[in-house]
Amino acid sequence: MREFEKNIRKVEPYVPGEQPQKKVIKLNTNENPYPPAPGVLAAMKKLEGHVDSLRLYPDPTSDTLVSALADFYHVGKDQVFVGVGSDDVLSMCFLTFFNSEKPVFFPDITYSFYKVWADLYRIPYECKKVDENFHIIKEDYYPENGGVIFPNPNAPTSIYEDLEFVEDIIRHNQDVIVIVDEAYIDFAGESALSLLDKYDNLIITQTFSKARSMAGMRIGYAIASPLLIKYLNDAKYSFNSYTMNKTSLVYGAEAVKDKEYFAETTRKIVETRDWAEEEFKKLGFVFPKPSANFIFVSHPEYDAKELFEAMKAKGIYVRFWGSERIEQYLRVTIGTREEMEALFAFLREYMM
Ligand SMILES: *Cc1c(COP(=O)(O)O)cnc(C)c1O
């Protein structure tokens, strides 16, 4: 090792799902199979005439987007923080809120980026084992800690825990910040937003990447008490004043305004999921009850890795990790009905 390398921050980065540049049936990164709300295209066309505005920096307060989100969720503008995908928002949260000597708690089977941010910022952490059915054990989060984060529904399991369960964890952790990552909440059940009035240590993060069909735009947000949002903004302005570009602000606001389209596409995905559940069952797959836009499946007779590779060879991409406890599982994003039909046609043939 060269001398200078000793002082280089070394991290083991998060590995995102593949983004193949050819046309495939893409069920590997939980994107939405439907296009963004029609208002986004209209805004795109309108912006074309204003290319000159790109000379200028964007609004550092992201007011257009923050206002649209505050209206949609009936919260104050001072309760909303936006970032470049919820990955950016969550990373800012780790930096801002997890500065204790005590470990931050999160599940062992969960979004694998949590571990990466903890390592990057040198935050101590402890992974709490989910039970044999992949459920989070809430009592594991009662001991003293430096903060708590978990997704609801959890990823990659797709398991949703009800509000009472979520509140129980928050109630036992009122001296630290608790982050509930609701990337998939629109496909599931009640959000923890209603708990914000009761718990000023709660942060909820959500994203435009899944239910709002805009993964390519990179927009995420946090909703919390004005005090926590202020701390987040202080950290953001100490890092990069202009995280959100002009187009994200406009397109994001347009997407939020169209409540009907959002409800309609979300409903379609849930319908396709309900049907896909039955199809997977017929083929002998087992899985925890899904509440997100993906199903976490395993088959008692077929090796997950072999299945993953056979699917990929046929241009059907799903996600496989092969890591501890989930070696025999595949995460399958819910696509359109047609995409799912193609998947099941392949599986029926493969299993003949
Ligand atoms: C997809 C996802 C995110 C991040 O999404 P962005 O595209 O960065 O908004 C965060 N948490 C979980 C659990 C996710 O699955």
Supply the pLDDT for residue 48: 83
Kindly state whether residue 227 falls inside one of the protein's structural domains. Answer: yes
Instruction: Say yes or no: 191 and 308 in one domain.
Output: no
Q: Are residues 27 and 92 in the same domain?
A: no
CA distance 148 to 118: 12
Is residue 138 included in any domain, yes or no? Answer: yes
* DSSP secondary structure, 317-340, as one string: E-B----TT-TT-EEEE---HHHH
| Atom 14 in ligand 1: residue holding the nearest Cα | 183
User: What's the pLDDT score for residue 49?
Assistant: 82
Q: Which of 82, 87, 152 to probe ligand 1 with, by most ligand atoms within 8 A of CB?
A: 87
pLDDT of residue 13: 94
State which residues form the domain around 113: 53-258
Q: Kindly list the protein residues whose Cβ atom lies closer than 6 A to any atom of ligand 1.
A: 30, 85-87, 111, 151, 155, 181, 183, 207, 209, 215, 220
> 308 and 231, same structural domain?
no
Note whether 58 and 242 are within 8 A (CB): yes
pLDDT tens figures, 118-167: 999 999 999 999 999 999 999 999 999 999 999 999 999 999 999 999 99
CB neighbourhood size of 322 (10 A): 11
What span, in angstroms and rounded, lies between the C-alpha atoms of 104 and 114? 10
Q: Are residues 248 and 267 in the same domain?
A: no
105 occurs within a structural domain: yes
The pLDDT of residue 47: 86
Residue with the nearest Cα to atom 12 of ligand 1? 183
Q: Whose CA is nearest to atom 5 of ligand 1?
A: 86
Residue 228 belongs to domain with CATH number? 3.40.640.10
What CATH number does the domain containing 7 carry?
3.90.1150.10
Q: In terms of domains, do 296 and 216 share one? A: no
Residue to mutate, 28, 160, 209, ligand 1, most ligand atoms under 8 Å from C-beta: 209
Among the candidates 258, 276, 301, a domain finishes at 258
Its sign, for the CA torsion 127, 211, 179, 121, is positive
Q: Indicate the pairing of strand 294-297 with strand 202-207.
A: unpaired
Whether 108 and 244 share a structural domain: yes
| pLDDT given for residue 352 in this prediction | 86
Q: Quick one: 104 and 149 in the same domain?
A: yes
Domain-terminating residue out of 206, 224, 258: 258
CA of 14 to the centre of ligand 1 (A): 12
Please indicate, yes or no, whether residues 197 and 321 belong to a single structural domain of this protein: no
Q: Are residues 283 and 345 in the same domain?
A: yes
pLDDT, residue 78, reads 98
Is residue 28 domain-shared with residue 106, that is, in the same domain? no
Residues 238 and 267 in one domain: no
Same domain, 216 and 265: no
Q: Is residue 42 part of a domain?
A: no
152-168 burial, b at 16+ Cβ within 10 Å, e below that, comes to: bbbbbbbbbbeeeebbb
Q: Is residue 8 part of a domain?
A: yes
Q: Which residues of the chain have pLDDT under 70?
A: none
* Number of folded domains that form the chain: 2
- What is the distance between the alpha carbons of residues 31 and 128, in angstroms, rounded to a whole number? 28
Within a domain: 129: yes
- Domain boundary (258, 292, 308) is at 258
